[in-house]
Structure 1
């Protein structure tokens, strides 16, 4: 990803130009940033590392006060808190804002779209995605700085999930919204429930499976102690976190501060992809050794899922911003060969 690398190099260069010691009249940017992740989680550690890098690269000119685990406002309220000045930046995700505008679905979790996190990141940086998304964010007085995309999520199931055929009458925990519509069309029976209810629902047979997270996180949660079937690589959901800042605050920052922020976010995005892939690979080996059945879907089944998912997108593209993002995704996915004509 040449553009990502160039952005990060530019950030380093900007720091070197600023000098090795902070001048007395150096501009200071103070940012209050909230994330929904706990500091001990993988995502929380990635954010902590990124914040440290930003402060170091800016030679202390950017001073970040982080808030983890949604300690200031609720996760869903973080975006508005940043837009109104209670916070300065939001490090949650666009999917929390679909009630504000359905277009946020297509920057939060583009279901049935990209096969890998690098493909999704390449849309953002090389497929016109950042410009298209920025139009949406700016309407709400926010500036999109970048994404973290951790990779495809996997299911945990008490029944085999080897193909599309196995989805028929498969009861599984699903978040609300577009995912329920897609899987209903494929014959599944999604059940919307809180994340905390998954364990009891699996143990009692209320559900056959669950959409929770990636395979490493699912293992860490203990889901495969109950559910002995999984799929990998995942295919249905690849949510992204965003770093988005109050636009007035962003515009008031010196240019080299903005460059440092963009570069550090791009660097963190690449590290997230690499680290989660490592975690998933380790979890996969451990689960196989424990006797968990891992299903890898065929190209035909994967394409069938994508076809149904992409046919569902227009049902949620009910605003000009959402339509523009769907068109942008479809054009880029067509370039990647992930759209079936």
Structure 2
């Protein structure tokens, strides 16, 4: 009888006790939350974390500029002014050189190879070493499909056509085209359309057709080139102040990583599904869908390899990641070659 009464008393106490208060954290993205795919991506990640923690962790996601300008998110997370952020990893290349490689490796891995290297081939462990001195935990959380080669106000028939071209292009691709005579610059996403419209820039790359369509580039530029040699795949990531990260239990840390893996899977499917309709809409707007000539791609590749070699010589973690990733691409490449089926 005493055991029964004791159990009943405990049950009543549990039901009448005040519910535990969820821990709440702010996260600011470098993108507007209405941008297709990358906009809602951190929102979906936060929803998954809340679900998987049973509501114990509540992450409130804010869009670009809500607390700090987009290009200041990393510094704010590093200093602790923001507990969390969501980014395109390549934005921080001036601070973390290896971010350039992960964000935009010219002629780099396809998304499936990039995914395997990051989580199974040692990629996460290598790049985290570059973030540690800044007190930031990085979790790759959104894998971007191959981008378009860019929007141009003229045809590109040889690499000489890049000379004097004012182009918005990020990362190592920008460094590559600069070697070919282009005037490259990094323009925030929200300013690209106006820069094209006003003639501040003659060309731009941004992302895959799904996102480019949403920004309206088809209204002002009529040459849309493929392939996206500069970013065959690229990563967006969750960044967390290291003190905040260390304050989470190991279970919560694991949940955040697993939520990112779920996010990656969802977004890959969403992106692949959306591109065909986006290309059709862009074509209907009067845009010429073109491919760079093979000889142009060959000349670009030559310069890109020089850029990658120079960057590797300047930073030991970049070098480690570059050697690891290229070796991984070679090793798993046999599988892809064996499985390749000729086109019709």
Shared fold per TM-score greater than 0.5: yes
Task: Compute the displacement of 1:28 (Å).
Answer: 5.3
Partner of 2:124: 130
Q: Is the 8 A contact 1:231 1:295 kept in 2?
A: yes
CA-CA distance at 1:159 after TM superposition: 1.9
* 1:38 lines up with 2:51 in the alignment: no
Secondary structure of the residue aligned to 1:37 is coil
Is the 8 Å Cα contact of residues 132 and 328 (structure 1) preserved in structure 2?
A: no
Alpha-carbon deviations, 1:102-156, whole Å to 9, x = none? 2221233223312x32332222112221111111122222222223122222211
Bigger radius of gyration among the two: 2
- Return the match for 2:331 from 328, 331, 335: 335
In the alignment, which residue of structure 2 is the partner of 1:219?
213
Question: Which residue of the other structure, out of 68, 71, 76, is the alignment partner of 1:81?
Answer: 76
Distance 1:246 1:298, change over 3 A: same
Structure 1 position 84, deviation (Å): 2.6
Tell me, in whole angstroms, the C-alpha distance in 1 between the residues paired with 2:54 and 2:255: 11
Query: Equivalent residue for 1:319?
Result: 315
TM-score by length of 1: 0.79
* Higher relative contact order, structure no. (Cα contacts within 8 Å, ≥ 6 residues apart): 1
State the 1:304 CA deviation. Answer: 4.7
- Give secondary structure in 2 for the equivalent of 1:212: coil
Corresponding residue for residue 62 of structure 1 = 57
After TM superposition, the structure 1 = structure 2 runs for residues 93-104 of structure 1, keeping only pairs within 5 Å, are 93-104=88-99
Change (3 A) 1:290 1:93: closer
Q: Compute the displacement of 1:179 (Å).
A: 3.0
2:102 aligned residue:
107
CA RMSD, Structure 1 to Structure 2 (Å): 3.1
Match of 1:274 among 253, 269, 273: 269
The 1:292–1:76 alpha-carbon spacing in structure 2 relative to 1, beyond 3 Å, is closer
Q: Are the equivalent residues in 1 in contact too, given 2:138–2:237 (CA < 8 A)? A: yes
C-alpha contact (below 8 Å) 1:29/1:253 kept by paired residues = no
Which residue number corresponds to residue 189 of structure 1?
182
Equivalence for 1:159: 154
Quote the offset at 1:263 in angstroms.
1.0
SS at the partner of 2:151?
Answer: strand
Shift of 1:164: 5.1
Tell whether the 8 Å contact from 1:93 to 1:242 is kept in structure 2 after alignment.
Answer: yes
| Correspondence for 1:10 | none
Q: 2: CA distance between counterparts of 1:231 and 1:214? A: 11
Aligned to 1:9: none
Q: 1:167 to 1:330 in 2, by over 3 A?
A: farther
1:16 counterpart residue number: none
Which residue number in structure 2 is paired with residue 256 of structure 1? Answer: 251
Separation in structure 2 between the aligned mates of residue 108 and residue 94 of structure 1, nearest angstrom? 5
Task: For structure 1, list consecutive stretches of 5 or more residues without a partner in the other structure.
Answer: 1-20
> 1: CA distance between counterparts of 2:85 and 2:111?
21
Does the CA-based 8 Å contact 1:160-1:166 persist in structure 2?
no
**Shift in CA distance, 147/172, structure 1 to aligned 2, threshold 3 Å:** farther
Deviations 1:250-272 (A, max 9, x none): 22312221121111111111222
The alignment of Structure 1 onto Structure 2 pairs a total of residues equal to 314
Distance 1:336 1:166 in 2: 35
Residues 200-258 of structure 1 show CA distances to partners (whole Å, capped at 9, x for unaligned) of 66456665422233223222222222322112342223442111212232223122211
SS of residue matched to 2:154:
coil
- Taking a change above 3 Å as real, the CA distance of residues 200 and 29 of structure 1, as seen in their structure-2 partners, is closer
| Pair 1:247–1:225, CA change in 2 (3 A) | same
Query: Secondary structure in 2 aligned to 1:313?
Result: helix
TM normalised by structure 2 equals 0.79
SS at structure 1 position matched to 2:137: strand
